[in-house]
Amino acid sequence: MEREALLEELGDAICRVERPHPVRVAIDGVGVAGKTILADELVEPLRRRGRSVIRASIDGFHNPKDVRYRRGPGSPEGYYRDSFDYEALVALILEPLGPGGDRRYRPAVFDFRTESRVELEERVADAGNVLLFDGIFLLRPELRDRWDFRIFVDTSFDVTVARAETRDIPLFGSASAVRERYLERYVPGERLYLARARPGDHADVIVGNDDPLDATLRWRNVNA
């Protein structure tokens, strides 16, 4: 379907979710699936519908390097288990914006590029806000019930690795180094996630995103 139509349909669906607190939207998928782009694209359709948006990402909740790589820099298990600080994610954003929360939140705690903590001032959300939160591993068992609407961006590994070979050269130095890193650590770790957490089974909608200009929507009968 055309991209604009896809965004409009997702915007309508998110706005149908009624909560007495901000609607927490997970935009999940493997690395380089198109999660961040989709989250950014949804901001304007939601604003046109009168909803103020909070944008945040799992990239703001990395663990320090000594925790991320404690099983070894090439470990797929380490990538799946140790990359992110889920306790901080729950305590600082998902719980405050959820049922009974005080709506005081912080959108990030760590910058993995500088390997340093981020000291952001506490912010206060309105009850009618929508949190658009993108990242990998968001529908793992300990997080999936923290979301009010769940999107899984489904993209094949052939496509994501090819995208990474262009996007991640500044991080790894060359396309071949990017590919090696993805095939050693990231893709196997993501396969662990897909097998153990089965995120597609817990999503409200699956976005087929191999071709963003001809993406698909597959709606699922799950509880939001």
Mean pLDDT of the chain: 97
CATH topology classification for 3-219: Rossmann fold (3.40.50)
Is residue 223 predicted with pLDDT exceeding 60? no
Number of other residues whose CB lies within 10 A of the CB of residue 106: 18
Task: Determine which helix (DSSP H) or strand (DSSP E) holds 56, and give its type and residue range.
Answer: strand 53-57
Mind listing the pLDDT tens digit for each residue in 195-222? 999 999 999 999 999 999 999 999 986 5
> For position 222, what pLDDT does the model report?
53
Going from N- to C-terminal start, the domains of the chain cover: 3-219
The pTM of this model reads 0.97
Which phi-psi region, left, alpha or beta, contains residue 115 (left: φ > 0; alpha: ψ -120 to 50)? left
Q: How confident is the model at residue 162 (pLDDT cuts 50, 70, 90)?
A: very high
- Between the two ends of the chain, the Cα-to-Cα distance in Å is 24
Q: What is the DSSP string of 142-194?
A: TTGGG-SEEEEEE--HHHHHHHHHHHTHHHHSSHHHHHHHIIIIIHHHHHHHH
Residue with tokens 């396969």: 191
